[in-house]
């Protein structure tokens, strides 16, 4: 049976995401970073007051079950720190350290340059359309039902 266009679309999206993840390692490896670790640094760089671990987990492009281990490794490397929450002793705020901000400041411009190279074949309009389409797929990703057998 030939594949449907929906199947081909989702397969292409997954293959593209996999290629981006795989290729990003060429950029991050010299800094001893993973894509997930860079994602944490990138999110925290824009939030000087930090985030709770739950808030960070909601924003990350990783499975939430991996957040604690990810933060443990970043803390051990000296790039993030856990600080007590000012109003809730059950919660930690995750903050960039000076070393983490310096690392992010070195890697971020290179990452943006690579992103521009990858997106160069698309016009600004095509990029915006693609973003809208991907956001639609993401919004519908959890709304499926198992077909009846």
Distance CA 94, CA 55 (A): 10
Helices (H) and strands (E) in the chain, counts: 6, 3
Given this model, what pLDDT does residue 148 score? 83
Given this model, what pLDDT does residue 19 score? 94
Q: Which of 12, 10, 66, 11 is nearest to 39 (CA)?
A: 66
**Residue 16: CB atoms within 10 Å:** 11
Q: Which tokens hold the place of 61? A: 């492009």
Distance CA 87, CA 105 (A): 31
Q: pLDDT tens for the chain, 149 residues: list them.
A: 667 999 999 999 999 999 999 999 999 999 999 999 999 999 999 999 899 888 898 888 677 678 889 999 999 999 999 987 777 777 789 999 999 999 999 999 999 999 999 999 999 999 999 999 999 998 998 888 888 87
Given this model, what pLDDT does residue 33 score? 96
Pick 5-140's CATH classification: 1.10.3720.10, 1.10.10.10, 3.10.450.710, 1.20.1250.20.
Answer: 1.10.10.10
């Amino acid at each position: 049976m030939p594949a449907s266009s929906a199947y081909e679309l989702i397969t292409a999206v997954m293959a593209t995401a996999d290629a981006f993840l795989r290729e990003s390692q060429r950029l991050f490896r010299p800094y001893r970073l993973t894509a997930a670790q860079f994602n944490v640094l990138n999110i925290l760089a824009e939030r000087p007051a930090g985030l709770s671990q739950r808030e960070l987990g909601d924003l990350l492009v990783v499975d939430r079950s991996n957040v604690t281990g990810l933060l443990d490794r970043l803390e051990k490397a000296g790039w993030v720190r856990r600080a007590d929450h000012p109003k809730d002793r059950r919660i930690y705020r995750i903050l960039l350290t000076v070393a983490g901000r310096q690392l992010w400041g070195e890697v971020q411009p290179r990452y943006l340059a690579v992103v521009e190279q990858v997106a160069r074949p698309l016009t600004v309009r095509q990029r915006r359309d693609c973003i809208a389409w991907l956001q639609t797929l993401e919004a519908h990703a959890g709304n499926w039902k198992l077909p009846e057998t």
